[in-house]
Amino acid sequence: MSTLYYYDGHFYDEDPAKVSLEDRGHEFGDGVYEVVRVYGGRPFLLEWHLERFERSCSAIGLHNPLSREDWIRLIHEAVRRSHESEAQVYWQLTRGAAPRVHWFPGSDSKVTLIVRAQTAAAPTGGATLLAYPDERWAHVFVKTINLLPNVLAKESAHRAGADEALLVRGGVITEGAGSNAWFVSDGKLYTHPADRHILPGITRRLVLQLAQSLGIPTLERAVTLSELRNVEEVFMTGTTTEILPVQKIIAESSRLTQLSELEDAPPESLLYECVNPVELWAQTGEAPLTERLRAAFADAVAHCRNQSPMNP
Ligand code: PDD
């Protein structure tokens, strides 16, 4: 089986297409989500994902209908039924269906969950990132299904032949469109603090632990565009991205001021082509620290695969 679906208490082998047209996720993006990676049939770092999920729900006053134990049982059951041992589990919770009003109408929240096969992140000679203005709302620590700014950033990167967008807010690098950003300078590892301007990645949390156990000096401090000249290594992290080494960072030359200043005039389009790319950073030598962390990450994955399954 390649994909397994769950909606509102039932499993399906095919997309049941049962979501109400008046679902608030559909009309307002009124919901939150998670993505968990499955290695060897075992959901990786599931407890951390559930912790973040619970924080997202409470941040937007969304009733979570399941206990932590119920979620764990549901996710294991879905993975078991999918027969996929290398997979990703996507789930979202919306405020449910009701005639469209902006305030909370007292509807029942609805769970959607999908298990889909996922192979290991492709080996890469190094990713290219397109710098893109981070003009999202100021609460991106909530893993909301409102991903339009991320979608536009990623599409602009895609059009530029880049692998990911690197979001920049007032000259400060925050994170990727779907990943967290890391920089090595003078033997130290830097990543944006887990404040309201980034999603506190679960992979980020693991990499912070791995760096500590490897004795790598780490600072949760943001890196600015102008500091890139002192940077020796860059990598991105995420549940499906794992640890992605970066080869170069480019920007569209006509959009450079937008990376440092929020303009008042509405732009013609939020999507853009990168017709005159400028290189903001390029990898010159080896990336030894990234490689050490990738090896430690691979060990953590191997450990997950070797654990005894919860639902044998
Ligand atoms: N994206 N930052 C953003 C904006 C993200 O969307 C993600 C994850 C991350 C990394 O978080 P984590 O390590 O918990 O996956 C950082 C997921 C995978 C997605 O939207 O598919």
Mutate which of 180, 192, 297, 301 to test ligand 1's pocket (most atoms within 8 Å of Cβ)? 180
pLDDT single digits (tens) 200-258: 999 999 999 999 999 999 999 999 999 999 999 999 999 999 999 999 999 999 999 99
The pLDDT-based confidence of 2 (bands split at 50, 70, 90) is confident
**pTM of the predicted protein model:** 0.96
Residues 175, 179, 180, 183, CA torsion sign? negative
Q: Residue with the nearest Cα to atom 2 of ligand 1?
A: 179
Of 60, 222, 204, 197, give the one whose Cα is nearest residue 139.
Answer: 197
Residue 100 CB partners (closer than 8 Å, separation 6+): 22, 27
Instruction: Please give the Cα distance from 80 to 73 (Å, whole number).
Output: 10
179 lines ligand 1 (CB under 6 A): yes
Q: What is the b/e burial string over 188-204, where b = at least 16 CB atoms within 10 angstroms of the residue's CB?
A: ebbbbebeebbbbbbbb
Q: Is 18 a catalytic residue?
A: no
Does the pLDDT at position 15 exceed 50?
yes
Q: Do residues 137 and 269 both lie within one domain?
A: yes
Instruction: Please give the Cα distance from 223 to 276 (Å, whole number).
Output: 24
200 lines ligand 1 (CB under 6 A): no
Instruction: Please give the Cα distance from 172 to 91 (Å, whole number).
Output: 31
- CATH number where 210 lies: 3.20.10.10
Q: Do residues 172 and 67 both lie within one domain?
A: no
Of 81, 98, 117, the residue at which a domain comes to its end is 117
Q: Do residues 154 and 247 both lie within one domain?
A: yes
